[in-house]
């Protein structure tokens, strides 16, 4: 039986039932995974006590001896070589105190035609760690306080999170690890920024903010290191879980509501038990990554007309504060959300038309990541490229356009006649995948086509 109070992190992680994703876009991690573990090597140094380094292991049916053998081998690998087998991936976290690893089944990932790209899998492992840290804090202090409870929390969290994890069939998306941003015009964006600034000025206890429209980021004022995990939690768990309630709520007079916390704001009783707000561990700085520390914040999430405002504060949150925020955002957020809806509806038809190519765009400065692979399932798109194209994209990027290069260009043609175009401008990356066509046989044809695509679809964000 799990000990301790779990009022806060329980909102993760339910299966997303609000819409059906395109199964061909993803591969479920458990379907291709042989094992997964979290180990604390220092706890198993003595002979005969090797099993004590195991903090978590999947699958549950594996013997202790086998678990100790696997984690011991992993420790030896990371200590003496960086040359992992393609099926084994390990990372060390918190000054190498903890080791997280997994093994993929070659038979299973070949059967589903998944292209393994080691850096992408390493990023997935890092994301798992960061998601745990978001809700429970760092491993080291938690284990020192109570190792048994630490193991229980790992069991509790990973037992729910791992079964829901999906890998993109395009590994580049897991490798880049950004957040989807909504493209809106300048005046509308300025209205979003203005509302955010006024909100934080009106309520000084609010220290950080993240604003989304539907399932895309509009604006954020928090550490870039926290954005991907928060974005993933909100869009893959909290918001989908709230859709049903939102449909029922539309019949009420109020347009806005809090997604977590008390349903009754008329009293002034303390926020305890089921009324307690979730807490998350975020970095306390916004721009200074060298001097950031993890700090626990209360998370207040307010939604109105497809717009979601996430507010974070270290101060105590009262029902009166929530009433005041509700009164402010109910009018201000509804106006901004309506403007955004109008902006989306008036976008250039050429941009909204179905493209005959796939793309990935990434801006490392803002972590903006958009792609045809992650658009709504209802959005028409060309057929998926074969696995060899996914492999060629990743190998071309790492071989010819390393992270340190701010500018660069690469053209590659796959065996199946797909063209891959990689362009970097001011560190912004654009990847185009062009299906076989009789109109694009030569490199000159592809260069001309690329310029046309950028001018029509990406000029404002890519060349500005």
Identify whether 10 is part of a domain.
no
Same domain, 150 and 90: yes
pLDDT band at 439 (very low <50, low <70, confident <90, very high): confident
- Whole-prediction pTM: 0.88
> Percentage of the chain with pLDDT > 90?
67
| Same-domain pairing of 318 and 384 | no
Specify whether 167 is located in the same domain as 192.
no
Q: What is the DSSP letter of 385?
A: P
Q: Where are the alpha helices (DSSP H) in 208-358?
A: 227-233, 239-249, 319-345, 349-352
Residues 340 and 356 in one domain: no
Say whether both 332 and 370 belong to one domain: no
The dihedrals phi and psi of 226, each to the nearest 5 degrees, come to -95, -20
Interior/surface letters 95-134, b for 16+ CB within 10 angstroms, e for the rest: eeebbbbbbbeeeebeeeebbbbbebbbbbbbbbbbbbbb
Cα-trace Rg, the chain: 23
Dump pLDDT digits (tens) for 29-65: 999 999 999 999 999 988 888 999 999 999 999 999 9
Q: Residue 325's domain spans which residues? A: 186-345
The answer to whether residues 322 and 203 belong to one domain is yes
Contacts of 463 (CB under 8 A, 6+ apart): 425, 454
Q: Are residues 317 and 389 in the same domain?
A: no
Whether 454 is in a domain gets the answer yes
pLDDT digits (tens, 9 = 90+) for 99-152: 999 999 999 999 999 999 999 999 999 999 999 999 999 999 999 999 999 999
Whether residue 46 is found in the same domain as residue 58: yes
CA 437 to chain centre: 34
Axis crossing angle, helix 319-345 with helix 186-202, rounded to the nearest 10: 180
Averaged pLDDT score across all residues of the chain: 87
How far is the C-alpha of 239 from the C-alpha of 231, rounded, in Å? 10
Please indicate, yes or no, whether residues 359 and 454 belong to a single structural domain of this protein: yes
Q: Which residues pair with 210 in a beta bridge?
A: 220, 310
Residues in the chain: 464
Q: For residues 299 and 373, state if they share a domain.
A: no
Task: Tell me 366's DSSP state.
Answer: T
Clarify whether residues 435 and 357 are in a common domain. yes
pLDDT band for position 13 (cuts 50, 70, 90): low
75 and 190 both lie in a single domain: no
């Amino acid at each position: 039986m799990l000990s301790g109070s779990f009022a806060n992190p329980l909102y993760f992680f339910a299966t997303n039932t609000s819409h059906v994703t395109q199964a061909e876009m993803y591969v479920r991690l458990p379907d291709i995974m042989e094992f997964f573990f979290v180990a604390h090597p220092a706890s198993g140094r003595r002979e005969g006590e090797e099993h004590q380094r195991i903090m978590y292991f999947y699958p549950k049916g594996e013997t202790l001896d086998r678990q100790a053998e696997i984690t011991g081998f992993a420790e030896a690998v990371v200590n003496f070589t960086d040359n992992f087998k393609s099926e084994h991936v390990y990372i060390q976290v918190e000054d190498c105190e903890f080791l997280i690893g997994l093994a993929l089944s070659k038979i299973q990932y070949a059967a589903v035609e998944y292209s393994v790209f080691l850096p992408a899998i390493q990023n997935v492992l890092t994301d798992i760690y960061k998601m745990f840290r978001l809700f429970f804090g760092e491993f080291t202090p938690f284990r020192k306080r109570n190792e048994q409870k630490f193991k229980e929390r790992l069991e509790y969290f990973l037992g729910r999170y791992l079964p829901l994890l999906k890998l993109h069939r395009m590994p580049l998306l897991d490798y880049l690890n950004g957040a989807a941003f909504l493209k809106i015009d300048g005046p509308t964006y300025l209205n979003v920024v203005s509302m955010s600034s006024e909100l934080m000025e009106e309520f000084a206890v609010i220290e950080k903010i993240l604003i989304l429209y539907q399932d895309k980021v509009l604006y954020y004022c928090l550490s870039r290191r926290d954005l991907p995990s928060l974005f993933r939690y909100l869009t893959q768990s909290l918001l989908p879980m709230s859709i049903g309630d939102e449909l029922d709520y539309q019949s009420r007079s109020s347009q806005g509501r809090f997604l977590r916390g008390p349903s009754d704001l008329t009293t002034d009783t303390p926020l305890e038990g089921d009324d307690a707000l979730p807490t998350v561990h975020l970095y306390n700085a916004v721009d200074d990554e060298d001097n950031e520390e993890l700090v626990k914040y209360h998370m207040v999430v307010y939604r109105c007309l497809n717009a979601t405002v996430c507010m974070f504060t270290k101060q105590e949150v009262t029902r009166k504060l929530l009433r005041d925020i509700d009164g402010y955002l109910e009018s201000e957020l509804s106006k901004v959300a309506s403007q955004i809806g109008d902006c989306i509806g008036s976008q250039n038809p050429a941009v909204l038309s179905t493209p005959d190519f796939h793309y990935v765009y990434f801006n490392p400065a803002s972590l903006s990541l958009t792609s045809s692979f992650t658009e709504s399932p209802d959005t028409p798109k060309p057929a998926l490229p074969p696995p060899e194209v996914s492999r060629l994209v990743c190998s071309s990027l790492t071989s010819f356009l390393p992270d340190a290069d701010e500018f660069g260009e690469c053209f590659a043609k796959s065996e199946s006649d797909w063209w891959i175009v990689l362009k970097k401008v001011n560190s912004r990356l654009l990847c185009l995948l062009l299906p076989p066509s009789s109109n694009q046989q030569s490199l000159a044809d592809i260069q001309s086509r690329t310029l046309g695509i950028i001018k029509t679809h990406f000029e404002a964000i890519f060349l500005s």
